[in-house]
Structure 1
Amino acid sequence: MSFYISVDPGNKKCGLLLADIKSGKVIEAGIAPLNKFSDFVASWNEKYSINKIIIGDGTNCTKIENKLKQKKILNLNYVNETGSTLRARFRYWEIWPPNYFIRWLPQEILFPPENLDAIVALILLEDFLNFTFIWPEKVDIKTWP
């Protein structure tokens, strides 16, 4: 298998996503505090044979890079994250389509009920690989303390 990690860096939290390139599926996703995200990345790096780690080039990307390098994680790649949060709103509704009458409303006015950081991490990975991943029903967005 060929695993990638994607990180959406933020000021207080990071969106994290683990995906298998060969199956085209998301394996795990969540939101971690900035001071603990590197522990989750290191854990995934030990458990899986990670090929690359994709990081959004915006907010706190240098801090993210430094924290990962402290844990001897060096296979880092950057991707432009301009507009990724807005695009994540639309991607959210592709993965979990609205039901009933809500589906008839324009998506521009719908706000997803979830925090979008993990979906932004998905967008970053999809942009980097120019590939659309499948989000299995069993994969929930976790919020790690």
Structure 2
Amino acid sequence: MSLYISIDPGMKKCGLLLADIKSGKVLEAGIASFNKCSDLVSLWNEDYQICKIIIGDGTNCKNIVNQLKKNKLTNINYVNERGSTLRARFRYWEIWPPNFLIRWMPKEILFPPENLDAIVALILLEDFLNYTFDWPDKVSIKIWL
């Protein structure tokens, strides 16, 4: 497997995503508190032998990278995350289309019912690789706080 981790860094929480490049599928996704983010990435690295870590270059990026480096995680790549949260709203509705009644409403006025941090991490990875990933039905957004 060729696995990548993508991180959407935030002040209090981070979006995390584990994806297999060869199959083009998301394996795990969720939201972790700032304190648990690097521990979870380390755990995934032990379990899966990660090839690369992708991280958005915005809010709190440097602090998370410092934590990752303390845990001896390298091969970190930065991605410009400008506009990724807005794009994640649209990507959310592509993955989980709205029901019939609201399907016809403009997507600009629809707000997804869930936190978008994991979807932003997906957007960052897709931007880095210039590739659109599959999100299997069995993969739910977990919360590690």
TM-score norm. by structure 2 comes to: 0.99
Structure 2 counterpart of 1:95: 95
- Percentage identity across aligned positions? 77
Matched residue SS, 1:103: coil
Structure 1 counterpart of 2:74: 74
Structure 2 counterparts to residues 111-122 of structure 1, below 5 A: 111-122=111-122
Rounded Cα–Cα distance in structure 2 between residues aligned with 1:17 and 1:91:
15
CA drift at 1:44 = 0.3
Structure 1 counterpart of 2:53: 53
Matched residue SS, 2:119: helix
TM-score norm. by structure 1 comes to: 0.99
Deviations 1:114-135 (A, max 9, x none): 1000000000000000000000
Rounded Cα–Cα distance in structure 2 between residues aligned with 1:75 and 1:86:
28
Deviations 1:18-70 (A, max 9, x none): 00000000000000000111111000000002100000000001001000000
Q: Does 1:62 align with 2:62?
A: yes
CA drift at 1:100 = 1.7
Structure 1 counterpart of 2:83: 83
Structure 2 counterpart of 1:133: 133
Matched residue SS, 1:35: helix
Aligned pair count reads 145
Deviations 1:91-126 (A, max 9, x none): 000000001210010000000001000000000000
Structure 2 counterparts to residues 13-52 of structure 1, below 5 A: 13-52=13-52
Rounded Cα–Cα distance in structure 2 between residues aligned with 1:97 and 1:36:
31
Q: Does 1:4 align with 2:1?
A: no
Which residue identity is paired with 2:89?
R
Rounded Cα–Cα distance in structure 2 between residues aligned with 1:142 and 1:48:
18
List runs of 5+ in structure 1 lacking aligned partners.
none
Which residue identity is paired with 1:94?
E
